[in-house]
């Protein structure tokens, strides 16, 4: 059976997966964000008595029939992204040959993801006993940003073969497809606005990590890329990947390297440093700012969040876009309230150690621990979305839309179907040949089985994610903002013009 048959019935199957994983009704309040209509001339006011109503009724239904038993949590930024997303998936045929069902033990004991593939120390109860580089273990007095920087500096770069052995490989590739489609959508809007052939496009990739999106920027033939990150070692990996990509383009395809986009690396904490002061050209006009799986770090405090938004907005030109992905805090609150313990997850992820009152979550500093299978545990922060929109507005960023990953998928699935196939983002069910399924929870593929029965053709495979992976993926959301034009007040502060 051809591998391209993976996505023959992709829409129906993943819709079934969504229905199975989303048998709950979380409130999607404030998605229209009335805050965006407020004038920017007034100072930002955050009223806990009003804004925290956003969380008030989420997940209050305690009827056991409406409760999902999600065990663990979701993923962190670079922990579940697969780089080089546009390369053809030639390793797809033997991915699962490396996976043994008994190796996962339902997620309670996991092997550390060492580069040499050797077994590491086993983890109890979703990482309650952490490894030596667990970023929840910080020295006394060290800031959270220092802990995060240390965590990412210690993560080893894995080769493609090693990543393909991961039991969450399809989750990682699916998330990379989400990023690819989001970037494609707004870079195309940018090109359309410029109304030029091969226009000059400048991009700022905030929290770029090791450069997992470099191939996406190359695909769109951008002119200049600024990569910023808190982890210096990650930036070194990013530079090496850029150099390798540039060299390969010249050698294999005969491209003139002068047409390859230029790269600028900025090291610093986005919550503390003003990036513009580090740019080689502080007057640069940026067309797109992308921040993937990282903005939740900013909500440790209001000053940090404001500095992140300043770094997003300061050089973004009017009409430019700010896009990204992050955890939907509605999902964190809702699932935690529905659980018996305040923790939740499944075989591949867990959210635990919530350091806030579920009945009265804070606007900032709502800390929790997130664990993804094979990835070191690390703390993250709730992002109160009405406040997120309000802060963005203060810095001239007009809210366009937010979508959960399942919503984004259903909107983009037809346009991105070929890319899903090329990337191998969905798992074939039933498995072909000697391949093992990555999911080993009892009900991980019930949705696919039902779909096959309804189609009355058990011999035509379909593409899907396991239920466990889908429950992890549906924690996330995409967002998009547009930079407004501005005039200047007499005191030198900007006044943004609404469209």
Cβ(492)–Cβ(91) under 8 Å?
no
Q: For 272-277, which contacts have Cβ atoms below 8 Å and span 24 or more sequence positions? A: 272/145, 272/304, 272/307, 273/307, 273/311, 274/307, 274/310, 274/311, 274/314, 275/204, 275/226, 275/228, 275/311, 275/314, 276/311, 276/314, 276/315
* Contact (Cβ atoms closer than 8 angstroms) between residue 204 and residue 290: yes
Spell out the residues 6+ positions from residue 233 whose beta carbon is closer than 8 angstroms to its own: 152, 153, 154
Was 130 annotated as part of a binding site?
Answer: no
Residue with tokens 């050089």: 315
Q: Is 269 annotated as a binding residue?
A: yes
| Residue 325 backbone zone (phi > 0: left; psi -120 to 50: alpha; other: beta) | beta
Task: Judge residue 157's burial from the number of C-beta atoms within 10 Å of its C-beta, 0-12 exposed, 13-18 middle, 19 or more buried.
Answer: middle
CB 433 within 8 A of CB 461: no
Determine the Cα–Cα distance for residues 484 and 36; give it in Å rounded to an integer: 12
Residues 6+ apart with CB under 8 A from 368: 332, 351, 352, 353, 354, 355, 356, 379, 380, 381, 382
* 446 annotated ligand binder: no
418 labelled as ligand-binding?
no
**290 three-state secondary structure:** strand
Using DSSP bridges, classify how beta strands 367-372 and 286-292 pair: parallel, antiparallel or unpaired.
Answer: unpaired
Residue 432, token pair as written in the block: 């072909």
Partner residues linked to 496 by β-bridges: 486
What is the distance between the alpha carbons of residues 402 and 324, in angstroms, rounded to a whole number?
A: 10
Name the 3-class secondary structure at 185.
helix
- Whether omega before 83 lies within 30 degrees of 0, making that bond cis, reads no
Beta strands 476-483; 485-488: pairing state: unpaired
- Binding site for S-adenosyl-L-methionine, residues? 179, 207, 229, 269, 292, 297
- Binding site, residues? 179, 207, 229, 269, 292, 297
């Amino acid at each position: 059976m051809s591998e391209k048959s993976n996505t023959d019935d992709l829409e129906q199957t993943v819709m079934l997966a969504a229905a199975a994983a989303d048998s709950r009704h979380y409130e999607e309040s404030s998605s229209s964000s009335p805050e965006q209509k407020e004038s920017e001339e007034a100072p930002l006011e955050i009223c806990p008595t009003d804004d925290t109503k956003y969380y008030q009724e989420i997940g209050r239904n305690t009827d056991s029939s409406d409760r999902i038993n999600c065990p663990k949590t979701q993923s962190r930024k670079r922990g579940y992204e697969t780089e080089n997303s546009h390369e053809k998936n030639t390793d797809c045929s033997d991915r699962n040959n490396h996976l043994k069902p008994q190796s996962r033990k339902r997620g309670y004991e996991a092997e550390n993801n060492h580069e040499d593939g050797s077994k590491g120390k086993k983890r109890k109860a979703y990482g309650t006993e952490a490894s030596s580089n667990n970023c929840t273990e910080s020295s006394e007095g060290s800031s959270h940003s220092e802990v995060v920087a240390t965590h990412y500096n210690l993560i080893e770069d894995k080769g493609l073969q090693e990543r393909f052995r991961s039991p969450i490989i399809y989750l990682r590739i699916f998330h990379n497809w989400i990023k690819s489609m989001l970037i494609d959508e707004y870079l195309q809007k940018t090109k359309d606005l410029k109304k030029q052939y091969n226009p000059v496009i400048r991009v700022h990739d905030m929290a770029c990590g090791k450069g997992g999106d470099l191939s996406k920027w190359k695909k769109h033939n951008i002119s200049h890329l600024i990569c910023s990150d808190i982890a210096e070692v990650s930036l070194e990996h990013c530079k090496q990947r850029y150099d390798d990509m540039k060299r390969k383009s010249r050698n294999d395809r005969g491209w003139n390297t002068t047409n390859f986009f230029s790269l600028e690396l900025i090291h610093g904490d986005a919550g503390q440093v003003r990036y513009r002061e580090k740019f080689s050209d502080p007057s640069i006009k940026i067309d797109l700012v992308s921040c993937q799986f990282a903005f939740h770090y900013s909500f440790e405090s209001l000053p940090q969040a404001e500095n992140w938004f300043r770094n997003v907005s300061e050089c973004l030109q009017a009409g430019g876009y700010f896009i990204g992905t992050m955890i939907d805090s509605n999902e964190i609150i809702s699932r935690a309230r529905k659980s018996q313990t305040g923790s939740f997850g499944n075989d591949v992820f867990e959210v635990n150690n919530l350091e806030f009152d579920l009945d009265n979550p804070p606007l900032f500093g709502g800390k929790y621990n997130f664990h993804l299978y094979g990835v070191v545990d690390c703390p993250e922060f709730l992002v109160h979305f009405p406040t997120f929109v309000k802060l963005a507005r203060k810095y001239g960023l007009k809210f366009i839309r937010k979508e959960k990953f399942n919503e984004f998928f259903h909107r983009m699935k037809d346009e991105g179907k070929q890319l899903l196939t090329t990337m191998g983002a969905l798992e074939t069910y039933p498995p072909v040949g000697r391949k093992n399924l990555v999911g080993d929870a009892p009900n991980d593929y019930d949705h696919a089985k039902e779909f096959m029965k309804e189609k009355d053709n058990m011999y035509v495979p379909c593409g899907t994610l396991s239920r466990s992976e889908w429950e992890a993926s549906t924690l996330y959301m995409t967002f998009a903002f547009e930079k407004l034009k501005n005039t200047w007040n007499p005191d030198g502060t900007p006044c943004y013009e609404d469209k």
